[in-house]
Amino acid sequence: MTSATFSDEPFADALARAEAEQRWLVVNLTDASSPACWTMAQTTWRDRDVLGWLEDHAIAVQVDVSADPTTAAELHVDPPATLLFRDGKERARLVGSQEPQHVLRWLEWLDGIEASVAEARAALVDPDRDAHGRHHLAQALARTRRFEEALDHYVWLWLHMAEVEPATSGVRVSFLATEIGELCRELPAARQRFCQLRDDAESAALAAPADGTEATARFDWIVLNESLGEAIRTLSWFDGLASEAQSAIDTAIISRVIPMLLERERWADAGRLIRDPLQDLRVHAAMLHMGRSFPMPDTLEPHRSAFEETMLEGLREEAAKLVRSLQAAGRDVDAAAVKREALRLDDSPAMRAALQRA
């Protein structure tokens, strides 16, 4: 069904040989009865550049789900799919019918990421002081599905990143927290470890004196709730507070709670928490301005207008949410001020329509 580049040796033998020869193992999971698999067989797996990469860098085998259902079941994916193994373990997978150029770029990218793991390890000469280097290595490990090894680094980064490099405090609760969530979805041990860290943060918040320490621990707890897909814990805690305590919540915590309320269309609750709606709107406008001035590669420049329109639509949606929340909370004066500022920033029919729907 495919090129002679694919070996006919069993998957287990090919995996062992690739590990011994320090080469990639590329597995083409296919199904002789699938039109999508036939399309790839006649295009992607006959492409000269793709075959050249396989010959130079990999051992390649084909696993047909009909001929070898046991191996196919062990791979836990439906055909067509391309799986990449290194050192005896799966590093990445590409699911669905793919064009030759896409497969080639993916293979080259993963090969580069694989090389970056060794480079990142070599560069990390002071692991207890180099948070940036640790993060770079953790990302490379996660991208190559070395999840167990990545876990130790992500735990260290969560506990010490902002302490070692204070400028990374924002990265810790945004990009790092997102990566932690992705790791927890892939590795049960990671989820178990970060659930424990989340629970530790809650215990620290409950035990802390009213000197700001409680807010810091509570904020960590909320961020990890998001990473673990358990934002309901945050909302349950919020709903258990008296209205006066809700209004007195730390600003950083409010910034996490409001989007959860908006997502659930709890407009009045969100409207009561919004402290400076005009500033919130201006922050979004500033992001729009930054996006407009951001240099684009020549290949993307023709899409700049579409990119800007997408950002403008985000500003309109934010303005509409602010107005709706403020109105629901009985803050009509603030809602009117947001409308005026929104039209000053973008006096367009689309903005007027968005505000009208609010």
Q: Render pLDDT for 31-73 as a digit per residue (tens, 0 to 9).
A: 988 999 999 999 999 999 999 999 999 999 999 998 889 988 8
| Residue ranges of domains in the chain, CATH in brackets | 11-119 (3.40.30.10), 122-273 (no CATH), 277-357 (no CATH)
Q: Render pLDDT for 89-146 as a digit per residue (tens, 0 to 9).
A: 898 899 999 999 999 999 999 898 888 898 999 999 999 999 999 999 999 999 888 9
Q: Render pLDDT for 152-170 as a digit per residue (tens, 0 to 9).
A: 999 999 999 999 999 999 9
Q: Render pLDDT for 325-350 as a digit per residue (tens, 0 to 9).
A: 999 999 999 999 999 999 999 999 99
Predicted structure pTM score: 0.76
CA distances 69 to 65, 78, 154, Å, are 5, 11, 37
Six-digit token pair at 38?
């036939």
What is d(CA 136, CA 7) in angstroms, rounded to the nearest whole number?
A: 35
